[in-house]
Chains A and B, each alone.
Chain A
């Protein structure tokens, strides 16, 4: 069931709604992938009721080949691999939401937790709470970290002066 295949038969309004949904999911998965596992574990433990779920793809660790481009923009080449863990879950309740977790590294439990929150966030009664308690604080934290790093790098900006030589 590919969302891209579906798009072809959707009206413009539905397609826009789906694009927004896709953007929200991309943001969610990018943020969850950057969370510490302990943070996700705590958030899971603090849920008022934890849903039952089954594994569509049990958590596993493998490698993803990373690619560069010659000159940064040209033809592609294989640079080397990266460890990635992934997991796909389906919740037991009537919505039966499917959640995916793809994370850098070898932490399979983290991939499982990301998949669970991805599934939960698709349900209206969980979405707002996950946004407020997990995603928004994560985003703030990452933005702050990036800004501090950028400011430290910016402080190393230098102007090279070319000394005037000769007559002029």
Chain B
């Protein structure tokens, strides 16, 4: 139990001043600009936007600066800011097939139409520290070569002529799409609510859960059907006009995972699917999300639920790093009264054991 305490105002104010000073670091160096964070720490910005659940590059960069680079703290700041704004509407579903891609690869289909486009990837770099980056230096301009098609259909559907991979079917437009920002999480959670929850969930947590499915805790034999990253249009229905208008573009990363499925009583053997989608260029997050999305479909597909990644309540209740961090960190707040009571109880129990009379205190402790 947390009991409110009084006092400490001066100490708190001074602590905040000290924080501001430490945030600034060595005053002899130029102060880092929010725009510099936005442009040069762009993957940190992407993560804060994805888990903070607001696409706004400048806000995420500001949050990172304020949080001294602490991502979970920056995510918390975005979530708090969110509560100050009204909701103006719901956009049309993003058309990821109309993406202007920066990257698009498939690990399952070698000859995909449009080709394998590596884009600005860390893959195939040697992961050796590049000391040249310590010096101020302009990179040489990236080479240009060729053109890209206007639209790129999903590879998984395109190459599914035999029908061995399950198809995703759109829901009815009139159906209500569950929204965690409006109503609390209920179980069993719909796939829509699960995907929303996973999209907001902590990347490290999803990565570990996804990894666990690869290591045998819920065997899912995943293959990357396709990963694509790039810009998609945002279309919003404008009430004053009565039709939808393209109001801008956002960066997203999408992962289509294909998983082996042995079949069940009701389903013949086939490949099943898991899906991941994140803001910005966040491939690891999208892949981990797709693995966990597939694991959470266990019940729907008639699979035995044997592993943590398949357990809806476990996965969805513990993935939000703002909630998790809040609950873990609240332990720092004064628990003096609580602890005094516990101390008294332990003293009493020990005294009773010493007196050779154990039963009463243990009974009391168990209550």
Contact = CB atoms under 8 A, between A and B. Distances in A.
Interface of A: 2-5, 22, 25-26, 29-30, 33-34, 57, 60-84, 86, 88, 98, 100, 102-106, 146-160, 162
Shortest Cβ-Cβ A-B pairs, 8 listed: A74-B168, A71-B168, A104-B248, A151-B144, A154-B146, A155-B145, A62-B88, A30-B246
Contact of A102 (B142, B242, B245, B279): B245
A73 B154 contact: yes
Nearest to B50: A80
29 contacts: A3-B242, A5-B242, A29-B245, A29-B247, A30-B245, A30-B246, A33-B248, A62-B87, A68-B199, A72-B256, A73-B97, A74-B168, A74-B170, A75-B171, A76-B93, A77-B199, A78-B192, A78-B196, A79-B94, A80-B54, A81-B54, A81-B55, A82-B56, A102-B245, A104-B247, A151-B145, A154-B117, A154-B145, A162-B110
Interface string B117-132: 1110000000000000
A75 B192 contact: yes
A158 B116 contact: yes
B117 A82 contact: no
B119 A105 contact: no
A77 B248 CA distance: 20
A76 B169 CA distance: 10
A82 B250 contact: yes
A79 B243 CA distance: 22
Contacts of A148: 144
Nearest to A66: B91
Contacts of A100: 238, 240-241
Contacts of A66: 55, 91, 94, 234, 250
A62 B242 CA distance: 20
Interface string B78-95: 000010011111111110
* Interface size class, chain B: 35 or more
Contacts of B103: 153, 156
A63 B234 contact: no
B88 A72 contact: no
B179 interface: yes
Interface of B: 49-50, 53-56, 58-59, 82, 85-94, 96-97, 100-103, 110, 115-119, 142-148, 154, 156-157, 168-171, 175, 177-181, 191-193, 195-196, 199-200, 233-234, 236, 238, 240-243, 245-250, 252, 254, 256, 273, 275, 277, 279, 293
Contact of B195 (A26, A68, A103): A68
Contacts of B199: 68, 77, 79-80
B56 A106 contact: yes
Given A64-B90, A77-B193, A82-B56, 20 more contacts: A3-B242, A26-B245, A64-B89, A64-B236, A68-B199, A73-B97, A75-B169, A76-B177, A77-B196, A78-B177, A79-B279, A82-B234, A86-B88, A106-B56, A151-B144, A151-B145, A157-B115, A157-B145, A160-B110, A162-B110
